[in-house]
A and B are shown apart, each in its own frame.
Chain A
Amino acid sequence: MTVAQLAEQFNLKLLAGEQGTNCEFTGCYVGDLLSWVMGRAKSGDIWLTVMGNINAIAVASLADIACIVLTENAALDDDAKAKADTLGIPIYITEESSFHTAMKIGQLL
């Protein structure tokens, strides 16, 4: 299933990185500490977090994350948005919690 299909199904709003939305995802990781995520998340994971800064985009790119979902309407910084657009890292936002979003994604995997 692609990131774009997931977003449509769960009504996630795309904030940036549209060019990367056709990539397939294979798992999900939840976390806000960047190095923790780099140490544990797997390539192809959807990353649920409240960290919407430019460093989160760098982490997603270097760790081959499929997309970031900012949960509970966490903010995306302007420079982070620009970087995500440049790198093609899809960033979505939802008002739901990481827990609820992860539960729903888990049912698809």
Chain B
Amino acid sequence: MNAIHLFYEVSGDDFARAGEASGDVKQKLKSLGYDKTAIRNAAIAMYEGEINMVIHAGGGVIDVDIYPEKIEIKMEDKGPGIPDLDMAMQEGFSTAPPQIHDLGFGAGMGLPNIKKYTDKMHIDTELGVGTTVYMTVNANK
């Protein structure tokens, strides 16, 4: 069976709209009849990715491929890149600016949450070029 492909653009510095793409994917997965846990996992992981794009990278693009047995999400930005990926993967480590904390973000849980809620995760990052986060959530339809 062919995958269902979805594409989204995330604009930078627009926290009010962050979550629209993941919300849309959640609705589509629901209507396609995927299991609740897989839907929740994919939605949370993707939302964390969206927030990261808005905070750190001035936005980016998202490709979602929905297969019967898995959901693949590719989140690509042209931001500054991640200098120390091992540090960034640690819970509580954050480089988000102070004003982000007032919004309730910047807890240093973004990438750790993506890892927690996905079955596979891979990050390509290059300083000054950008970051691409690949995620796979296994699913049962």
Contacts and interface: CB of A to CB of B under 8 A. Distances in A.
Contacts of A108: none
Contacts of B110: 35
Interface residues of B, number: 26
Interface string A80-92: 0000000100000
A55 B103 contact: yes
B19 A55 contact: yes
Given A36-B107, A51-B104, A64 B36 contact: yes
A56 B15 CA distance: 11
Given A33-B109, A58-B18, A38 B103 contact: no
A54 interface: yes
A62 interface: yes
A35 B107 contact: yes
Contacts of A102: none
A32 to B, nearest CB: 6
- Counting contact residues on chain A (CB < 8 A from B), the size range is 20 to 34
A54 B23 contact: no
Contacts of B18: 55, 58
A79 interface: yes
A39 B19 contact: no
Q: Is the interface of A mostly helix, strand, loop or mixed?
A: helix
B109 A62 contact: no
Contacts of B113: 35, 38-39
A56 to B, nearest CB: 6
Contact of A33 (B15, B26, B48, B107): B107
Nearest to A49: B104
Contact of A62 (B15, B44, B108): B44
A54 B87 CA distance: 29
Interface string B34-58: 0010001001100110010000000
| 7 closest Cβ pairs, A-B complex | A58-B19, A35-B109, A33-B107, A34-B104, A62-B43, A39-B113, A35-B107
Interface of B: 15-16, 18-19, 22-23, 26, 36, 40, 43-44, 47-48, 51, 91, 103-110, 112-113, 116
